[in-house]
Amino acid sequence: MNKRVGKQTVRTDSRPKIISTASIVGPKEGQGPLKDYFDIILEDDLNGKDTYEKAESSMMYLAINEGIRKANLTEKDIDYLFAGDLLNQLTSSCFAAKDMDIPFVGMYGACSTMTESLAMASIMIDGGYANYAVAATSSHFSSAERQFRTPLEYGNQRVPTAQWTVTGSGAMILGKEGNYPSVTYVTMGKVKDYGVNDVNNMGEAMAPAAVDTIAQHLKDTERSGDYYDLIVTGDLGTVGKKITTELLKEYGYDISKNYIDCGDEIFDHERQKTNAGGSGCGCSAVVDCGYIYKNMLKGNLKRVLLVSTGALLSSTSCFQGLTIPGIAHAVAVEMV
């Protein structure tokens, strides 16, 4: 049976279930508007480790194991772990996976990795290749800041369009049965590059990819923009969210009444001085695993389109003056 719908979308006939989630955040995120939705809030962003990279890896390890525990499973029950992060050669994910007895598939989509890993885990279960799978990702302000921008000791002033990398990790445990939010459609995005080269304006760089993927998903599924209770982008922040809303109107979709962005929601920008909002792999991960998932379980949300967005830059490409390509992947999650 052909499961393809339109140009870029796949229908999951078995509707894999997200049977549990876990989210862990740093102290700053734990002081934000969504603090009541996170499972674990760290008191120390080093999490007892001697480097920020080790701290980030420990967060992912903790989130995955907490998700497995909440699902009443063990590591031996999990067929695949799909995970990724922002650091060179997926440092956080690889070092978390080495301490687990689970086959590991490393994923890199920059900040789009949460829906990328969720999409692949869902497809594996729907295809009959797995009974249980984990989708996870992480980011850390201090590890990402010194890899992509400047040394932490430099203390540079942040421009208004800059975003604050979220310190956090989220994990989703997927299975085949139960009355849980189900993955119904997956739309994999295309890389879009509109010539943005300002590393301090990720929202502008990623917005075109978000627009393209959302519009293609709605076209492929023949759904209107208001079909979903919420359309949720990953980490466009205030700048990218505004651009996305305006550009989608040119495609004929007005989502202004049911659209939020995780980067816009996770911090109180004025009080916490996060400028244009949050970013990083952990941004959409912890908001989706916390706020979105828990509201779906409560019945407050029934149909949600998760669209994590990523800026596909590296320290090398930035130093060479290249532009910043963007990517976005969409996963429809519904109570069915």
What are the extents of the domains in the chain?
4-175, 182-334
**To which residue do tokens 């792999």 refer?**
281
Give residue 147's pLDDT: 65
pLDDT greater at residue 143 or residue 43 = 43
Residues 6+ apart with CB under 8 A from 268: 32, 33, 274
Section 205-232 average pLDDT: 97
Give residue 319's pLDDT: 76
Give residue 137's pLDDT: 97
Is the pLDDT at 225 greater than 80? The verdict is yes
Angle at alpha carbon of residue 135, lines to 41 and 304, rounded to 5°: 85
Section 159-178 average pLDDT: 90
Give residue 160's pLDDT: 66
How far apart, in whole angstroms, are the C-alpha atoms of residue 311 and residue 293? 25
Give residue 159's pLDDT: 64
The hierarchical CATH code for the domain 182-334 is 3.40.47.40
> Which class does domain 4-175 fall in?
alpha beta
How far apart, in whole angstroms, are the C-alpha atoms of residue 207 and residue 236? 7
Task: Give 92-105 pLDDT, tens digit per residue.
Answer: 999 999 999 999 99
Task: Please tell me whether the overall predicted TM-score, pTM, comes out greater than 0.75 for this model.
Answer: yes
Section 306-333 average pLDDT: 92
Section 73-98 average pLDDT: 96
User: Given this chain, do its domains 4-175 and 182-334 carry the same CATH topology?
Assistant: yes
Section 211-232 average pLDDT: 98
In the three-class reduction of DSSP (H, G, I as helix; E, B as strand; rest coil), residue 4 is classed as strand
Is the pLDDT at 154 greater than 70? The verdict is no
Section 266-277 average pLDDT: 91
Q: What single-letter amino acid sits at 78?
A: I
Q: Please provide the average confidence, as pLDDT, over all residues in the chain.
A: 94
